[in-house]
Amino acid sequence: MTRPMVLALAALKPADMAQKLHDTYDVVTDIAAASQAQIVLTSGAVGLSPAQMDQLPALRLIAVSGVGVDAIDLPAAVARGIRVTTTPGVLSLAVAEMALGLALAAGRRIAEGDRFVRAGDWASGRKLALGRSVLAGRAGILGYGRIGRQLADLLRGLGMPVAYTARSEKNDSPDTYHPDAVTLAQHSDVLFVTAAGGAETRGLVNADVLAALGPDSILVNVARGPVVDSAALAAALQAGHIAGAGLDVFDDEPNVPQALLDAPNCVLTPHVGSATDEARRAMSALVLDNIAAFVAGGPLPSPYGE
């Protein structure tokens, strides 16, 4: 019996989960060899463009390993009768702890201190500049969905007062709501960006938000690069308008603007918010469940936007 074909534009991790995919499906990685494929496996960052959809006339399912759908043209998918699944929730803890780690790394100069020790500066008698306590400050969360709320739970548990903004106020939240990003920044010492990417949130963190945050504050972005105006951020860091930043996501990955590479107290990680063994294993299991359900003609476990 022929096995269903899956065009894999992203790899399932860890290796034993990738093996399960290969054990069950005819996995191809070259789009030119996938004109018969009904299923595409991709990641939130890689997505699938309309031009790629045009190359895949049989496509009926885009299985995303991740939750961001900003790299997928959803109207184009709907128009073609293509369904989309994501892996919501199972990665939230990993991304939330990455956000906390970036805040601590920037506030306590952990990455800078590591470079300082390795460069021999400590042994030479130099002193690292003072850091800034994260947990003594007020947390602001921009985007209060699954990841934002998971992060809020962690920060509240660590004793931080938490405020947030989102498109709407959440009646079931113990945290303080502010109606917009500037007002939230005015009431935050550490601003965490966890909003969905896409046209609606592009440039949401701009020079006005950074000015409202103030010179003792830290910005963390684990959402999508374009949610933060990177030129305004680099300028704010250079001018000391904010104290530091921790960034996991960028406009044009894997390229990072020189202005951010040069910016003082800016901690950079290569889009690894969900990159733990635990999270990736759970994401891969959900991807496999969605593909299996599609092939069986049953209800999809985690359809997007239906």
Taking the C-alpha atoms of residue 68 and residue 146, their distance in angstroms, rounded to an integer, is: 12
Q: Judged by CB under 6 A, does residue 193 bind ligand NAP?
A: no
Q: Which of 161, 147, 144 is nearest to 99 (CA)?
A: 147
Q: Which of 278, 218, 268 is nearest to 87 (CA)?
A: 278
Q: Judged by CB under 6 A, does residue 167 bind ligand NAP?
A: yes
Question: What secondary structure letter does DSSP report for 260?
Answer: H
Contacting ligand NAP (CB under 6 A), which of 42, 43, 265, 274? 274
Catalytic residue flag (residue 271): yes
Backbone angles phi, psi at 228, to 5 degrees: -110, 130
Q: Name which of 93 and 249 has its Cβ closer to ligand NAP.
A: 249
Which among 60-68, 111-119, 183-191, 230-238 is the span making contact with ligand NAP, rule CB under 6 A? 60-68
Catalytic residue flag (residue 253): yes
Q: Which of 303, 287, 291 is nearest to 90 (CA)?
A: 287
How many residues at the interface with ligand NAP, by CB under 6 A?
Answer: 30
What residues have CB less than 8 Å from 253, skipping those under 6 apart? 45, 225, 270, 271
Catalytic residue flag (residue 306): no
Which structure tokens are listed for 120? Answer: 């021999």
What residues have CB less than 8 Å from 91, skipping those under 6 apart? 66, 67, 147, 273, 274, 279, 282, 283
Q: Judged by CB under 6 A, does residue 175 bind ligand NAP?
A: no
Q: Judged by CB under 6 A, does residue 146 bind ligand NAP?
A: yes
Q: Name which of 140 and 273 has its Cβ closer to ligand NAP.
A: 273
Q: Name which of 41 and 147 has its Cβ closer to ligand NAP.
A: 147
Contacting ligand NAP (CB under 6 A), which of 56, 91, 237, 267? 91
- Residue 204 C-beta: closest distance to ligand NAP, Å: 6
- Residue 279 C-beta: closest distance to ligand NAP, Å: 9
Taking the C-alpha atoms of residue 185 and residue 190, their distance in angstroms, rounded to an integer, is: 8
Q: Name which of 38 and 188 has its Cβ closer to ligand NAP.
A: 188
Task: Give the Cα-Cα-Cα angle 260, 266, 267 (nearest 5 degrees).
Answer: 115
- Residue 200 C-beta: closest distance to ligand NAP, Å: 4
**Which residues are marked as active site?**
224, 253, 271
Q: Which parts of this chain interact with ligand NAP (CB under 6 A)? A: 66-68, 88, 91, 95, 143-148, 165-168, 194-197, 200-201, 222-224, 248-249, 271, 273-274
